[in-house]
Structure formats: structure tokens, C-alpha cells
Structure 1
Amino acid sequence: MAKGKKQFKIETPRGTVYTQASKGGRVTARLEWNEGFAPDKEKGFANAQEFVDSECIRWMNPETPRRTGVLIKSATLGTVIGSGEINQIAPYARRQYYEHKEKSYWFERMKNRHKESILKGAAKYVQSH
């Protein structure tokens, strides 16, 4: 069963004050977190997850066995983009995935071919925020 979008929660610690005594006196440094850091990164990670899910489905398309196209559409219909989980809801999807003569393990084959480009694209969403 498909679940909802993945929720990212980034917590930043409270600000910290460091004091160091020396011969010339005391030095105090205050570390404060940017208030916008957590919301920006959470949004960036959520966008990156949506990108990864969409790209995996897109790149799986040519790797997936097709007779009528239902198996391919079942990935789109069964997946909540952003959940981090791809679900193919066709009743025969599991059997085809493991037992198809020419095109079994289509997700693994897609991942081996396109992993680097998917990761590179996802990184852009996190770095831009």
C-alpha cells in the first residue's frame, strides 16, 4: 500500500557560547544557527525525493516488460511521488519482476544504468536551498 509523502525534519541545536581565557583576557564566541536553515533544507530534501521517485519511474519504463502497458502504468498509479517508495499495483507485478525471462529485476537494471544521473539531479535540489 502506498504511503504519503516522506516528511523531513531537521532540528538545529540551540545557540552556544564558548569562552576561552588567555593571558591577554577572555575571548567569547557565540554560535547561532540561521533560522531559515532547517525549513530550506527540509524543502530541498522533499523536492529531491520527488525528483528521485519521478526519475526512477521514468527510467524504469523502457526496462519494464510490456504486453499491454498496464505494468508500466501500475508504477505511476501505485506510487505517491515523494514517498520514497515505488509501488507497482498490477496483481502480477511481483511475479514478473522476479520471474520474467528477459526483463526481470527492471528496477535494479534501471538503477545500475542511471543511478549517477539521478543522484546528481537530486543533489541540485538540496544544494539550491
Structure 2
Amino acid sequence: MAKGKKQFKIETPRGTVYTQSSKGGKVTAKLEWNPGFAPSMKNGFGNAQEFVDSECIRRMNPETPRRTGVLIKSATLGTVIGSGEINQIAPYARRQYYEHNTKSKWFERMKNRHKDSILKGAAKYVQSH
């Protein structure tokens, strides 16, 4: 069954103070994480996951067997966008996925064709933060 949106947990380490002694004296450096980094990246990863889910469903459409179109709509109806999981809820979806004569394993075929462009699009959501 469909689950909720994926929750990303991003932790940043505590700040660190480094001290280096040399003949000329002592140098101290303090490293701190930007406090807005984790919330910003968490939001970016969430948006990227929504993009990936939507793009996979959209790009699976031409690869999916169609007699009445219910199998295609079952991916939209059964998936929570942002969950990281695509569910096709038609009762015969599993059998069609593995046993269809000409269009079996439509997700795998879509992934082989479009993986690079989907990943490139998802990266834009994370890089913009």
C-alpha cells in the first residue's frame, strides 16, 4: 500500500576548533556548519523526490500496456508523490508487469532510457538550495 512522503534526515556535526602550533606561533581555526544547511537540503531532497516520482510515472506512460488505460491511471492513483515508491493498484498490474508479451517490465525499460535525464532534473532541486 502507498506510504506517506519520504522524510529525509540530515544531520550536521557540531562545530570544531583546530589549533596548530608551529615555530612561528599558533594558528586556530573554528569550523561551523551553516545552521540553515540541514533544513534547506531537506527541502531540496523532498522536492527532488517528488520530481523523480512524477517523472517516472509520466515517462512510464508510453511504455505501459494499454487496453483501457486503467493500468496507466493505477500508477497515478496508487502513488503518493514524494514517497519514493510507485504503486500500480490495478489488480492485474503485477502479472502484466512480468508476463506481458511485448511490454513487460515497463518501469525497467523506462529507467534504462531516461535515468540520466531524470537524475539531472532532480539534481537541479538540490543544487538550487
TM > 0.5 fold call: yes
Q: Which secondary structure does the structure 2 equivalent of 1:42 belong to?
A: helix
1:1-129 correspondence to structure 2 within 5 Å:
1-129=1-129
> How many residue pairs were aligned?
129
SS of the residue aligned with 2:119? helix
Specify the code of the residue in structure 2 equivalent to 1:121. Answer: G
Mapped to 2, the partners of 1:28 and 1:109 lie a distance apart of: 55
| Residue type of the alignment partner of 1:30 | K
Amino acid at match of 1:41: M
CA drift at 1:80: 0.2
In 2, Cα distance between the equivalents of 1:90 and 1:120? 31
The structural deviation recorded for 1:25 is 1.2
- TM-score normalised over the length of structure 1: 0.99
Using the TM superposition, give the Cα deviation of residue 24 of structure 1 relative to its aligned residue in structure 2, in angstroms. Answer: 1.4
Q: Secondary structure at the match of 1:56?
A: helix
For the residue of structure 1 that corresponds to 2:57, the secondary structure is helix
Structure 1, gaps ≥5 residues long: none
What is the letter of the counterpart of residue 65 of structure 1? P
Shift of residue 52, structure 1, vs aligned partner: 0.2
Deviation string, structure 1 residues 67-103 (Cα, Å, up to 9, x no partner): 1000000000000000000000000000000000010
Percent identity (aligned)? 89
Name the aligned partner's letter for residue 115 of structure 2: K
- The CA RMSD over aligned residues, in Å, is 0.4
Superposed structure 1 runs of 4+ greater than 2 Å apart = none
The runs of 5 or more residues in structure 2 that have no matched partner are none
